Structure 1
Amino acid sequence: MMKYIKFLCIVLLLFVCIGAVAQKTNDVYVDKNGVMRWGKTNEEVRAFGVNYTAPFAHGYRAAKKKDIPLEQAIDNDVYHFARLGFDLYRVHVWDCEISDSVGNILNNEHLKLFDYMLKKMKDRGMKFMLTPIAYWPNGYPEPEEKTPGFSTKYGKEACLTNEDAIKAQEKYLYQFLNHVNPYTGIAYKNDPDIIAFEISNEPHHGEAPEKVTTFISRMIKAMKNTGCKKPVFYNISHSVHLADAYFNAGIQGGTFQWYPTGLGSGHELGGNLLPNVDKYSIPFASNAKFKKIAKLVYEFDAADVGRSYIYPAMARSFREAGMQIATHFAYDPTYMADVNTEYNTHYMNLAYAPQKALSLKISAEVFHQVPLYKNYGSYPANASFGNFKVSYEKDLAEMVTETKFFYTNHTSTTPAAVDKLQEIAGWGNSPIVKYSGTGAYFLDRIEPGVWRLEVLPDAIWINDPFGQNSPKKKIAVVNYRTWPLSIVLPDLGSNYTVKGINAGNIYTAKAQGNTITVAPGTYIITKQGVTTNVNAQTRYKNITLGEFTAPATEVDKVYILHKPSSELEEGNSHTMEATIVTKNIPQSVEVSVFGSGWRPDVLPMEHVSGYTYRLILPEKYIKAGMLRYFITAKANDIYYTGSAALESKPSDWDFYGTPYTVAVLSKNAPVYIFNAATDASALSRQWLRSSTIVPAAEPGKAELQVNVAKLFEVDPENKNGEAIHDYSMRFFFGQKISGRKQDVLQSKRLVFRGRAMNGSPCKLQLALVMRDGSAYGGVITVGVDAADYSINLTDLKSVNLVTLPRPYPGFLPYFFKPSAVCDFDISGVETIQVSIGPGIAVDQLQAKHGIAIESIRLE
């Protein structure tokens, strides 16, 4: 009997040892050089993905209000994650919703949905980096709810210092890691797909370093007491002066975030923002302790940027800085992406923002292809790097490898080995695929001569997604239209066959040459003469071929979207564009323009692609005075006119619409690039309580008054940061002057209209910024009387470009220095930078400086 018991003990011991070895093998570990490696292969960890919050807070409540089954909604979005190549998920769990005030885990619907979501992501091959503590209440953007958690009771600041709150966190972390996901049967601490934990989201420590170290050490101990071997990370991009306190606490990795265009501009930002993402410079990068820990990005976004060129450049800069993981913040659940109420400064969804989503798909490839710490120089030289290219001018990001071709906008690039391509994903036209719809498409080679095509519905933005949003205000719609699609691939040839395979899709056809006509859905495309056994149930990588998910058509009325030019110069033709959104292709689109008579002339607009129509208005209509016109679309035999889409046309006797009105100025009239009365709200600058807009006595004029008490104040999040005495503002005027190109070319000087405040003159630097990020400026001395102050364009010199809006974290570079300074070219200017600081005597830098701006013009 004793021998039998000994034998059982030995067997059990062996199982424990084998399990321990397996766990060690499965877990990610951090090597002596601060690199995360996969336990099984020792290869470097490279992963990329998103934050996504459907189980919690506003996302959860929005679904409930719409009676949307959240499990199905999660399934749909996770499928899109698979199509975008995401292999990592991160979220700050709303602890306030799944814990009580003393730190006990609550097994409620939020946690159940979270567990369900993790299982669905695991099924697609995704990994996880989880942040158990958010410290956030769950209200935003709605009023806060009363939640049971310890964060609700104590608040973030007290959670970092109050002993009872700290004990609650220790208990919560211990229980969180021990929590068994009912859908997998595995505790979080043992789940091989959870590769790391970040203790908490954005703690802002204000205590002495030794106390900060003690706090973090206690959190780590609570987690390690579960037996968890996974790396534990801590946010080290806040309060960076405490870096050594973080490193001394025993963390194995540090987490970072990046909002290079600030947050909450309230409108879509214009201009070239690639200089803002040129480098991710870490102030303690040379610290020997920092070099031994792993680095990851828990949140990033180019907030308020609606274009698709910027994300791969951010990914490149992250890799150069040593980041192995990055997750975008935040992917909008599809059921609420049409209104973008979750975080209106962010916008990301494959169905509603296809070009931006494809840009993230390319960024995922950057993380997997670009070597760690690889330096590609500075912008504009680093606009091409490895297999990648970004272009502000074309609003294009693209990747070309031997087997993959991804692009976010129309491109003329032809892959070098078209016959070897296996995957294509894009928007618009390329030498391989031509498509006029406005949704994303995916082409995947399943076997020789057999490809899977997936086409998403058309996406159209009908409002600025970064404005004041509401569930009552749509910012985007999707539409199901049938469009021609041409595919030029040697593996398919011509006259190939196409067959719909998603649920309800019974479409079959034969290509006419290289062109087919398709509606949104998924299809099998087969080369002429090839037979195949693949079908809707066939597995391909992490999807099933017949899968397809997208919102239903939302176009239930006509939208006429047009932004008239601010002003025009007489004697030139003028190109105007409009977006006409109708369920089916409109019968006609026309412009009614008032010329010499009282009846308008009616001119047809030409279809360009998708929903875009264009008219080149002859110069005979562009006369000094006011240009007045209407845009009318005919759909289903009904005429719709103007931004209100009135159901009538201008020639009807009872028509009451208001025309678009544009000022037409005589040749060589001044070109106003900034007007305080109309443009101040769109300035990119750091907020000042002492700044205000004051209307002038003269109608239509105002002053933007800016009073700066100190040009430099210590950043509490970066107490050791460089002292830069500067206050800068930036305004993108590219669209504002689009109708004045000839007058801009004739300009000789830059004129500032305004005055100095506080009873003393103020030095002011004015700089014109070109499309490539080069800035040319000069310093003027502004007197206390309102007057014109000018500088000749020939006197402008190369000056520093300030990265505006200011990035977050605040330790990131204040100035941008391009890889090469281009010669000044007035035809390339699109932004004005106004700076208080340059030229001011050293002994006056910390004095109060004030300026009142009325306007800035070229003449």
Structure 2
Amino acid sequence: MKVNSEERRKYQIVVAFFLFFITVLSAHAQKSNDVYVDKNGIMRWGKTNEEVHAFGVNYTVPFAHGYRAAKKKNISLEKAIDDDVYHFARLGFDLYRVHVWDCEISDSVGNILNNEHLKLFDYMLKKMKDRGMKFMLTPIAYWPNGYPEPEEKTPGFATKYGKDTCLTNEDAIKAQENYLFQFLNHVNPYTGIAYKNDPDIIAFEISNEPHHQEAAEKVTAFISRMVKSMKKTGCGKPIFYNISHSIHLADAYFDAGIQGGTFQWYPTGLGSGHELGGNLLPNVDRYSIPFANNPKFKKTGKLVYEFDAADIGRSYIYPAMARSFREAGLQIATHFAYDPTYMADVNTEYNTHYMNLVYAPQKALSLKIAGEVFHRLPLYKNYGSYPANTSFGDFKVSYEKDLAEMVTEREFIYTNHTTTTPPAAEKLQEIAGWGNSPVIKYQGTGAYFLDRIDAGVWRLEVLPDAVWVNDPFGQNSPRKKVAVVNWREWPMTINLSDLGANFKVKGINEGNMYWVTASGKTFAITPGTYLLTGENTAAKISPAARWKNINLNEFVAPRSSVDKVYTLHKPLAQLSEVSTWTLQATVVTPTPAHAVEVYIYGSGWRPEVLPMEHVTGYTYSVTLPEKFVKVGMLRYFIAVKSNDVCTTYPSAVEGKPADWDFYGEPFVIPVTAKKTAIYLFDAATDASDLSRQWLRSSMVVPLAEPGKAELQVNVNRLFEIDPENKNAEVIHDYSMRYFFGDKISGLKSGLPQAKKLVFRGRALNENPCKLQLALVMKDGSAYGGVITVGVDATEYSINLSELQNVKLVTLPRPYPGFLPYFFKPSALCDFDITAVESLQISVGPGIAVSELQSKHGIAIESIRVE
């Protein structure tokens, strides 16, 4: 058919209009999918106008140390991502965030490099999308890629200029503009969608923790340029900026065209080097934002890009953090950082953090509950202060029980042994837990999940046992295991009317041929995935069927890593003479132990043998009779027989202590008379475990007397201006805290007789120094008094009856630094010496105003009660 030029022109106009119309419709549809921030600063979904709730994790496998660790172990990174993303689904995470290592995917002028790092990142996003997860991406990290290893030479602009220069140098700024433009336009080859158009990307945060130090107008100009480079792509998603650093520049941030601000929270500081003890709920009582009443801030969206209770191994704290975030108006939060399973046994990525479903099951379940808190609690609702706020909505936390719970008619999730009974067990649809509850009894130390698929049909998933064999927050190395997993068979009892007493248990994950009928609700179980059906019920669903965001027969867990005997037992620092005492140990063996025995020395030169009884899981115990718990040195060994080999601890020597050629050293506990003084702090042994802000002018100095030392603390200024919060309240105080709860656990019988608190030490700099000593109880109440310490080393005492309520300092100091310095409980309890667990030592209280600017120094040798 011949077409003349006029018809061709009309045809081209029609086609052009049609394409334009489709483009407009597509853009409109896309725009309606994007999250927007309303006039009240609430993020809402474009299509439904519903409030955004999202909760999840940071996870770094495509980059830096995580990437290199997998390569060194010849691990498939795609398979590793698949495995961990499945666990994200089991934990209910629906959000992912990461600061992309721009140094690995860009060149020095900001061009995107389509390399393996970016390919893996795109693959991971696709796999997360398949599980229903959303994203908040931070394109610029500014970090080099080395930590904790030496830095590598990388091609990016951040490598060339460094973080500080990236914020001020014109060529570096141009490189970032170019990079951001290309990053948002990058098309994920696994989805075929550019990041700017991906409906599952909620928002972009420009960069990670920029730490601006310039004048406000320059900061505004810098951020505005970043925003414009991103908006130039046509991206309609909210653009966020970190506003929790350099908060004196808050207005400069709000004036730069951003739609939201990002925050982080490390309420227990970072890098303690050991697991923290004591009640840290006061540290997470409230997330107070200094500029919360700023009208500009009220119009911006609010999210948390990183949070963690660092160096805490317990499971009670995350839901309380989520509650405080919701009270502050925060809609999105991501924990930092989830350890890739292939390296979680050594925890080398960030040794101050530890999170993994397999290796840290109780913490992971706590994070699962925190996610539910984020999705269910209303914004800005206040639940009071600790300890009144330990119950909120469907949630409870308990420091004393190391327990977090979510209890509704349909869900029952718990992180530790619990006696809580669900209000309507017959209506339950989901159970997830660790340990024993009225619904499930289980001796294993892994997490389990029980989900109702249909009437009388449940899916059970049991993960292998996890045991921490070293402090995961210490000095870590690929050559040092901090945790092991063990595949063991344990009895499990499930008490659900929907299943009855004699339900059927069938393995459904790959290679799992297990089949058994429960007897009286109890059956033996090993790690895997199972279909449970009531006695007269037939499952109508295929084991391979899709259910929610998983397949029924999915299961991911590393194989057993217990290749030797682990006997975990820390002898008491001291023990009071008592009538009887129970000794406990955790014993992990490749196969069940044949015998665990204590070889203990009494009056004779040969040890006596006492069998230890299996209590539950890997716990063994024996009660020592009175004849062994006498004043003197209690010396004993623990011998474990497994596979016809006996290994004796603490030296891990093969053989028994009664053998003629045995050469191991025993555990030793000093046993003292009941009226002996109880030492709460000794500088020679305890100084390294103090929670305090680092001082260059502080050191531990040995004394002439063997085994004695003093901690010298010289405070040049009691108040230092915080460059991140230049308008902070002026507080003249330097405080330290020491948790002694474990140290004195064998001496508690002597606490009720204590009458005074005794300090031994001296003042430095030839000037007397006022010092406040306070005893902190388990509920966060602090009672103390001030002494004036002279320049000569001697003892000073305060009668316990004279102690007054004093301010509790939140230690370790939270980050960001604008968070409250002091904690005030909702109710004041009377002082109870039997409830004390920590010591607070403060320089500042009692010092005259005229002397606050002076240098103050103290040397601490010991603190005791007697």
Among residues 653, 666, 689, which one is paired with 1:682 in the alignment?
689
* 1:221 correspondence with 2:254: no
Aligned-partner SS, 1:21: helix
Map 1:494-505 onto structure 2 (within 5 A).
Answer: 494-505=501-512
* 1:10 correspondence with 2:31: no
Q: What whole-Å deviation, never above 9, does each CA across 1:65-86 have from its counterpart, x for those lacking one?
A: 0000000000000000000000
Structure 2 stretches of 5 or more lacking a match? 1-6
Aligned-partner SS, 1:598: coil
| 1:412 shift after superposition | 0.3
Q: What whole-Å deviation, never above 9, does each CA across 1:26-85 have from its counterpart, x for those lacking one?
A: 101100000000111110000000000000000000000000000000000000000000
The farther-off stretch of 635-644 and 355-364 is 635-644
Map 1:489-528 onto structure 2 (within 5 A).
Answer: 489-528=496-535
* 1:781 correspondence with 2:788: yes
Match of residue 360 from structure 1: 367
Please give the alpha-carbon distance, in whole angstroms, between the structure 1 residues aligned to 2:541 and 2:830. 58
* 1:596 correspondence with 2:634: no
| 1:797 shift after superposition | 0.7
User: Does the aligned pair in 2 maintain the 1:176–1:188 contact within 8 Å?
Assistant: yes
Provide the TM-score with structure 2 as the length reference.
Answer: 0.99
Please give the alpha-carbon distance, in whole angstroms, between the structure 2 residues aligned to 1:231 and 1:667. 65
Aligned-partner SS, 2:686: helix
Among residues 80, 84, 94, which one is paired with 2:91 in the alignment?
84
| 1:619 shift after superposition | 2.1
* Alignment size in residue pairs: 859
Among residues 217, 233, 238, which one is paired with 1:231 in the alignment?
238
Among residues 804, 807, 823, which one is paired with 1:797 in the alignment?
804
Match of residue 843 from structure 1: 850
Aligned-partner SS, 2:471: coil
User: Does the aligned pair in 2 maintain the 1:436–1:609 contact within 8 Å?
Assistant: yes
Match of residue 282 from structure 1: 289
Match of residue 44 from structure 2: 37
User: Percent identity over the alignment?
Assistant: 76
Q: What whole-Å deviation, never above 9, does each CA across 1:158-214 have from its counterpart, x for those lacking one?
A: 000000000000000000000000000000000000110000000010100000000
Please give the alpha-carbon distance, in whole angstroms, between the structure 2 residues aligned to 1:215 and 1:572. 71
**Partner AA of 2:578 in structure 1:** G
Structure 1 stretches of 5 or more lacking a match? none
User: Does the aligned pair in 2 maintain the 1:535–1:546 contact within 8 Å?
Assistant: no
Among residues 682, 703, 706, which one is paired with 1:699 in the alignment?
706
Q: What whole-Å deviation, never above 9, does each CA across 1:214-235 have from its counterpart, x for those lacking one?
A: 0000000000000000000000
Aligned-partner SS, 1:464: coil
Please give the alpha-carbon distance, in whole angstroms, between the structure 2 residues aligned to 1:604 and 1:535. 49
The farther-off stretch of 44-53 and 588-597 is 588-597
Provide the TM-score with structure 1 as the length reference.
Answer: 0.99
Q: What whole-Å deviation, never above 9, does each CA across 1:297-344 have from its counterpart, x for those lacking one?
A: 000000000000000000000000111000000000000000000000
Q: What whole-Å deviation, never above 9, does each CA across 1:240-259 have from its counterpart, x for those lacking one?
A: 00000000001100000000
Match of residue 355 from structure 2: 348
**Partner AA of 2:176 in structure 1:** Q
Match of residue 3 from structure 2: none
Please give the alpha-carbon distance, in whole angstroms, between the structure 2 residues aligned to 1:275 and 1:633. 41
User: Does the aligned pair in 2 maintain the 1:480–1:583 contact within 8 Å?
Assistant: no
The farther-off stretch of 672-681 and 2-11 is 2-11
| 1:583 shift after superposition | 1.8
Aligned-partner SS, 1:289: helix
Map 1:141-152 onto structure 2 (within 5 A).
Answer: 141-152=148-159
Q: What whole-Å deviation, never above 9, does each CA across 1:689-729 have from its counterpart, x for those lacking one?
A: 00000000000100000000010011000000000000000
The farther-off stretch of 17-26 and 449-458 is 17-26
| Displacement over 6 Å in runs of 4+ | none
* 1:814 correspondence with 2:828: no
| 1:741 shift after superposition | 1.1
* 1:450 correspondence with 2:457: yes
Aligned-partner SS, 1:37: strand
**Partner AA of 1:343 in structure 2:** Y
Among residues 709, 719, 728, which one is paired with 1:712 in the alignment?
719
* 1:306 correspondence with 2:313: yes
Q: What whole-Å deviation, never above 9, does each CA across 1:801-845 have from its counterpart, x for those lacking one?
A: 000000000000000000001110011000000000001111111
Map 1:596-675 onto structure 2 (within 5 A).
Answer: 596-675=603-682
Match of residue 373 from structure 1: 380
| 1:3 shift after superposition | 4.1
Match of residue 473 from structure 2: 466
Among residues 298, 322, 325, which one is paired with 1:315 in the alignment?
322
User: Does the aligned pair in 1 maintain the 2:736–2:841 contact within 8 Å?
Assistant: yes
Please give the alpha-carbon distance, in whole angstroms, between the structure 2 residues aligned to 1:619 and 1:331. 48
Map 1:399-410 onto structure 2 (within 5 A).
Answer: 399-410=406-417
User: Does the aligned pair in 2 maintain the 1:574–1:739 contact within 8 Å?
Assistant: no
Q: What whole-Å deviation, never above 9, does each CA across 1:453-495 have from its counterpart, x for those lacking one?
A: 0000000000000000000000000000000000001111110
**Partner AA of 1:497 in structure 2:** K
Match of residue 736 from structure 1: 743
| 1:5 shift after superposition | 3.3
Among residues 419, 432, 451, which one is paired with 2:426 in the alignment?
419
Among residues 546, 564, 577, which one is paired with 2:571 in the alignment?
564
| 1:604 shift after superposition | 1.4
The farther-off stretch of 215-224 and 615-624 is 615-624
**Partner AA of 2:222 in structure 1:** F
User: Does the aligned pair in 1 maintain the 2:650–2:666 contact within 8 Å?
Assistant: no
**Partner AA of 2:54 in structure 1:** A
Map 1:12-411 onto structure 2 (within 5 A).
Answer: 12-411=19-418
Please give the alpha-carbon distance, in whole angstroms, between the structure 1 residues aligned to 2:24 and 2:545. 40
User: Does the aligned pair in 1 maintain the 2:577–2:629 contact within 8 Å?
Assistant: yes
| 1:18 shift after superposition | 1.2
Please give the alpha-carbon distance, in whole angstroms, between the structure 2 residues aligned to 1:262 and 1:618. 43
| 1:17 shift after superposition | 2.1
| 1:10 shift after superposition | 3.2
User: Does the aligned pair in 2 maintain the 1:591–1:603 contact within 8 Å?
Assistant: yes
